[in-house]
Chain A
Amino acid sequence: MKLPLEWLKEYADTKKSPKEIAESFTLLGLLLDKPIESDVLDLEHRMDRADWLSITGCARDFAAFECIKFVQPTVFDKPAQIPNKEDIVQIKVECPDLVHRFNTRVFKNIKVKESPDWLKQRLQAYGMDPINNIVDITNYVMLEVGQPLHAQDLSKFQKREIIIRRAQLGEAITTLLGETIKLDPDIFVLTQNGKPIVIGGIVGGWETGVDENTTEIVLDAGNYNQTNIRKSSRKLKIQNETVMRCDKFLHPKLTEWAIQRATYLILELAGGECYENVDWYPEDSSAKKMKFRYDRLKLISGMDFDKKQVRDILTRLEYVILEDTEDALLLEVPYFRTDVEVEDDAVSDIIRINGYQNIPSQSLESAPPDDVTPLILKFEDVIRNILVNLGLHEHITDPLVKADSLVPNQVRLQNSLNSEKSALRTTIYETLLPVVELYKKHRIEEAGLFEMGKIYKDSVGRTKPEYGDLEETRVVQVIYHNGKYSPKQISDYVKGLLSGLFTNLGIGNVSIVDNKDTFQILANKTVLGAITYDAFYLATEELIKHASLPKRIIHEFDKTHSEDFSCVIDIGKSFGPTLEKVKEFDKAIMDVEVVDEFQKNTRQKSILIRVTYTGKLDTRRLRELL
């Protein structure tokens, strides 16, 4: 939002320098966006306050903040003349879902000419080109109060009637700038004698435009469905000052102020007379009332405010105090403050006008709540550390890839601006591999890389996928390249990395299985991922189920005991299975070895097994087992 300071000072007179004014606006919520040039502030508007898209709206807050008087612009506050019945321009709205209010007035015997210098200069300071006094006044009032206005030459009307309806497919309009725009039923238009003359809330047409010969005009201020305006303007790729305001929450009541202000200026600068005309406004929206509790202010701000100061700030911002009790106020929210939804919004107004620089700091005092960190996040950090210690570099790559109908289960985006980034990856390999290529390009012989991230899958594959169709899987991907190694050596190295990772995660019983198109990595018969000669990936959420992070620190060596057991087996039979059985008997057993073997008789032999163990071992049961 641009703010010419000379203009601002008409409503809030200040002696402050442009830099100081900019600082005040920044604290108030309108950040100075660009360097100050020729006494015009360019402030960042954050889409919330529709009234901040007007100079008076900015001035009102500024005046409250600086404790100076806010001067309202002069309006035409007398009743307009009653027109003859046949002079009335009839308004018909066929799409009431898109139009909330259409307020009009008719002017006769006006003189279209160049605007006076002060008006031209203000528009130019804002960045708009002056055209003629009528068009300039509509623009001026739009900037001043935030309501877009539109004037049309009545002599160019076939019938004194405006019908507002959705456009028909195939209809087109030529704008004031001479551009022809094709329309469709998503867009609504003002029509005259069946032909579109204005795209509602977006841009006016050339056909009924005001020129130097115009003497009679119909002035309108409309309040429209802002979602439709936003969508239509995007579709038509039209962005202008009208659209910028009509796609915000403007209050229908604002049309009255805008018409009255414009009437004052038209009569001043173009002469003529003004006549009442139709104000199409089927649903008069009532003013919003709201309870304001001092307790709530204290709770949110942590500060003690003087009640008088609170009332003063609210009044300066044009809240109306309807009831005033010991602990609360009943407020009527100013109609132009469409952003005020809840009590806390009025609370923010108090804190804001009091100055954010005046908020004290107070550290959190309560005891920290329980740790709710999911284990998987800690686990992935452990994997990162292990892989880094195994010599691999971590990379993070863009999960967005090119959409490819040949890739099964790919999640595709509807509206990406970039065709190279119009789907989500189904493997990390595809986005990490280009980094390996980069290493090669830089003649780095060895590249051991990993990425911890997600892969995405559309398991159903509808044209419009539902949320439940889409899966995200957490994966760690490793790729190894070494220009000096043969594929066999690379493969050995990659397997070494895998077993290094598994050993550190305490995962045993791992196998690699040929599953037709992939070599799957299994632990305890569960698939954890897949391996190729130069890469592997693992699903971390599967991995965590099998991991038992070894406690690598021991504070004492365990004392070991040995005991010998004898057992009889048939000659010719291996004693391997017996040893395995003993090993699995108890976790306390560290080692089992055969120390002696002799023939008992022709069919049997006796073997002496030495069992080494720590802690306690149920030797009686072991003996029974043998």
Chain B
Amino acid sequence: MQFCLKCLKINQVALYQSDIVKIKKQFDSEIEETRTSGQFDELYLKYFSKTSGIITGLMKEIPTLSEDEKREFGPKINALQNELKDIIEQEKSAYEKKQLADPLIDLSYFLPPKSTGMLHPTTITIREMHDFFRYHGFSVYEGPEIDNEENMFRKLNLPEGHPATDLQDSLFINEPKVLLRTHTSSVEARALTDIEPPMRIVVAGKCYRNETPSPSNASFFHQYQGFVVDKGINIQNLKAIMEDMIKFLFGNDTVVRFRYKYYPEVSPGLGTDIQCKFCKGKGCAFCKFRGWVEMGGSGMIHYNTLKMCGIDPEEYTGFAFGMGLDRLALSKFSIPDIRKLYGGIVYK
């Protein structure tokens, strides 16, 4: 071993090496402080500032070293530089994330998931029916629930004292002039009066009857009604739309029966039944041993009704149909009691 400048330089390297250990120690304690203070940029500058950085200072010494020393010392100082830079970066991003997260997300408990609400089964059923009829060119119409005898009875071909008023037990506000509608045909009377033919219209709405509530009868119910007035409308058109509607609602394999059924506001009337799906027409408890389930009434709009609503019955003819919506909704959603449908249903 030569004792000269070289020796001194070897000592210099040794000195540097002990510096690296010291610097590392110092850095470790400083990063600990910075974790809470968040002054990572200041820490970075302290070590890596181009003018006064501790590591930069060491780097500046490298050119003064011999080739051997450079080979020994260079990689070590490089490794230290990379290590410290990495640590600062990691700690800084962890700190920033924590800074962002803390006040906003409380990770201590979970809230129940928030879902959208539900439409009422009757609304869903009405929308489905509307979809079918709008596809067939029908408009949707509506009218008041409180109506007068004119729209409820007279225009529907029910003169005063007609026995068919017995078909409906009306709830009167001022008997016999003002009452709650017992059917949506009152809307038909209004539409026929207000709208110029041709027209294709459906109506869905609440109706009221003076009945004691039971599983199948509430004091109010929803009716679905439709009517068409145009030149050359005949009973075959009515039959076709009833068939299509039933197939839309209950499937293509449904067996349909048409029969004469009296309603005062139509002539001829048309009753539509579907074969009971449970007993296939043999008769069971569901269909009250009839083999068939009634789907509602319809018919060609009465000559007098058209006339009273201001439509020339010699020029225009039309048909009308009506059905209860609630039973449809009940069976669609397997709800056993109509009273549950209105005021009882609980969604989860």
- Identity of the chain A residue whose Cβ is nearest the Cβ of B149 in the assembled complex: A467
Is there a chain A Cβ closer than 8 Å to B223's Cβ? no
Contact A372 B342 (CB under 8 A): no
Contact A374 B141 (CB under 8 A): yes
Which of B138, B208, B244, B268 is in CB contact (< 8 Å) with A344? B268
Is there a chain A Cβ closer than 8 Å to B160's Cβ? yes
Is there a chain A Cβ closer than 8 Å to B250's Cβ? no
Cα of A494 to Cα of B347 in the assembled complex, Å: 19
Interface centre among B120, B294, B345 (most CB of A within 10 A): B120
Is there a chain A Cβ closer than 8 Å to B63's Cβ? no
Cα of A399 to Cα of B347 in the assembled complex, Å: 21
Contact A444 B348 (CB under 8 A): yes
B166 CB to closest chain A CB (Å) equals 6
Cα of A213 to Cα of B233 in the assembled complex, Å: 65
- Identity of the chain A residue whose Cβ is nearest the Cβ of B161 in the assembled complex: A227
Task: Give chain B residues whose Cβ lies under 8 Å from the Cβ of A227.
Answer: 160-161
B318 CB to closest chain A CB (Å) equals 11
Encode A429-448 as 1/0 by CB contact (under 8 A) with B: 00100110011001010001
B76 CB to closest chain A CB (Å) equals 53
Contact B235 A46 (CB under 8 A): no
Contact B300 A470 (CB under 8 A): no
Interface positions, chain B 204-240, Cβ under 8 Å from A, are 206, 208, 210-213, 218-220, 228, 230-237, 239-240
* Number of A-B residue pairs having CB atoms within 8 Å of each other in the complex: 263
Cα of A230 to Cα of B162 in the assembled complex, Å: 10
Is there a chain B Cβ closer than 8 Å to A26's Cβ? yes
Q: Which of B9-17, B96-104, B256-264 contacts A (4 or more CB under 8 A)?
A: B256-264
Is there a chain A Cβ closer than 8 Å to B286's Cβ? no
A138 CB to closest chain B CB (Å) equals 23
B181 CB to closest chain A CB (Å) equals 11
Is there a chain A Cβ closer than 8 Å to B198's Cβ? yes
Which of B118, B197, B268, B290 is in CB contact (< 8 Å) with A32? B290
Task: Give chain B residues whose Cβ lies under 8 Å from the Cβ of A434.
Answer: 343
- Identity of the chain A residue whose Cβ is nearest the Cβ of B137 in the assembled complex: A368
State the main secondary structure of chain A at its contact with B.
Answer: loop
Cα of A431 to Cα of B178 in the assembled complex, Å: 23
Task: Give chain B residues whose Cβ lies under 8 Å from the Cβ of A461.
Answer: none
Encode B188-206 as 1/0 by CB contact (under 8 A) with A: 0000000101111100001
Task: Give chain A residues whose Cβ lies under 8 Å from the Cβ of B60.
Answer: none
Is there a chain A Cβ closer than 8 Å to B116's Cβ? yes
Decide yes or no: A357 and B258 within 8 Å by CB, A363-B240, A374-B142, A399-B220 being known contacts.
yes
Task: Give chain B residues whose Cβ lies under 8 Å from the Cβ of A372.
Answer: 139, 141, 195, 199, 201
Task: Give chain A residues whose Cβ lies under 8 Å from the Cβ of B178.
Answer: 465-467, 470
Contact B140 A377 (CB under 8 A): yes
Is there a chain A Cβ closer than 8 Å to B289's Cβ? yes
Decide yes or no: A467 and B146 within 8 Å by CB, A46-B261, A48-B264, A416-B210 being known contacts.
yes
- Identity of the chain A residue whose Cβ is nearest the Cβ of B127 in the assembled complex: A381
Cα of A534 to Cα of B195 in the assembled complex, Å: 42
B143 CB to closest chain A CB (Å) equals 10
Task: Give chain B residues whose Cβ lies under 8 Å from the Cβ of A421.
Answer: 219
Which of B115, B123, B267 is in CB contact (< 8 Å) with A348? B267
Encode B264-295 as 1/0 by CB contact (under 8 A) with A: 10011111000000000001000011100010
Contact B261 A366 (CB under 8 A): no
- Identity of the chain A residue whose Cβ is nearest the Cβ of B268 in the assembled complex: A348
B42 CB to closest chain A CB (Å) equals 32
- Identity of the chain B residue whose Cβ is nearest the Cβ of A400 in the assembled complex: B219
Q: Which of A154-162, A168-176, A387-395, A589-597 contacts B (4 or more CB under 8 A)?
A: A387-395
A380 CB to closest chain B CB (Å) equals 10
Contact A413 B180 (CB under 8 A): yes
- Identity of the chain B residue whose Cβ is nearest the Cβ of A29 in the assembled complex: B260
Task: Give chain A residues whose Cβ lies under 8 Å from the Cβ of B257.
Answer: 357
Encode B293-312 as 1/0 by CB contact (under 8 A) with A: 01000001011100000000
Task: Give chain A residues whose Cβ lies under 8 Å from the Cβ of B136.
Answer: 364, 368
Interface positions, chain B 120-151, Cβ under 8 Å from A, are 120, 122-123, 127, 136-142, 144-148
Cα of A466 to Cα of B241 in the assembled complex, Å: 39
Q: Which of B23-31, B78-86, B87-95, B168-176 contacts A (4 or more CB under 8 A)?
A: B168-176
Interface positions, chain A 30-53, Cβ under 8 Å from B, are 31-35, 46-49
Decide yes or no: A341 and B304 within 8 Å by CB, A299-B317, A470-B178 being known contacts.
yes
Task: Give chain A residues whose Cβ lies under 8 Å from the Cβ of B259.
Answer: 26-29, 31, 356
Decide yes or no: A362 and B140 within 8 Å by CB, A31-B271, A46-B262, A397-B342 being known contacts.
no
Cα of A438 to Cα of B347 in the assembled complex, Å: 11
Which of A249, A299, A411, A415 is in CB contact (< 8 Å) with B232? A299
A384 CB to closest chain B CB (Å) equals 6
Encode A183-226 as 1/0 by CB contact (under 8 A) with B: 00000000000000000000000000000000000000000001
B133 CB to closest chain A CB (Å) equals 11
Is there a chain A Cβ closer than 8 Å to B7's Cβ? no
Cα of A300 to Cα of B199 in the assembled complex, Å: 18
Task: Give chain B residues whose Cβ lies under 8 Å from the Cβ of A345.
Answer: 267
- Identity of the chain B residue whose Cβ is nearest the Cβ of A351 in the assembled complex: B268
Is there a chain B Cβ closer than 8 Å to A398's Cβ? yes
Contact B163 A247 (CB under 8 A): yes
Contact B235 A48 (CB under 8 A): no
Task: Give chain A residues whose Cβ lies under 8 Å from the Cβ of B290.
Answer: 31-33
Cα of A431 to Cα of B283 in the assembled complex, Å: 40
Decide yes or no: A356 and B163 within 8 Å by CB, A27-B260, A361-B236 being known contacts.
no
B246 CB to closest chain A CB (Å) equals 12
Cα of A397 to Cα of B160 in the assembled complex, Å: 33
Task: Give chain A residues whose Cβ lies under 8 Å from the Cβ of B237.
Answer: 302, 362-364
Contact B303 A342 (CB under 8 A): yes
Contact A431 B300 (CB under 8 A): no
Task: Give chain A residues whose Cβ lies under 8 Å from the Cβ of B167.
Answer: 46-47
Task: Give chain A residues whose Cβ lies under 8 Å from the Cβ of B160.
Answer: 227
Task: Give chain A residues whose Cβ lies under 8 Å from the Cβ of B228.
Answer: 364
Is there a chain A Cβ closer than 8 Å to B344's Cβ? yes
Contact B174 A414 (CB under 8 A): yes
**Given contact pairs A303-B236, A345-B267, a sample of 4 additional A-B residue pairs in the complex whose CB atoms are under 8 Å apart:** A28-B259, A29-B269, A444-B348, A467-B146
Report B's interface with A, CB cutoff 8 A: 114-120, 122-123, 127, 136-142, 144-148, 157, 160-161, 163-164, 166-167, 171-175, 177-178, 180, 195, 197-201, 206, 208, 210-213, 218-220, 228, 230-237, 239-241, 243-244, 257-264, 267-271, 283, 288-290, 294, 300, 302-304, 317, 341-348
19 A–B contacts, CB within 8 A, in A order: A27-B260, A34-B288, A341-B157, A362-B236, A362-B240, A363-B237, A364-B241, A368-B138, A369-B230, A391-B117, A394-B118, A394-B123, A396-B120, A398-B220, A399-B220, A411-B146, A413-B173, A414-B175, A465-B178
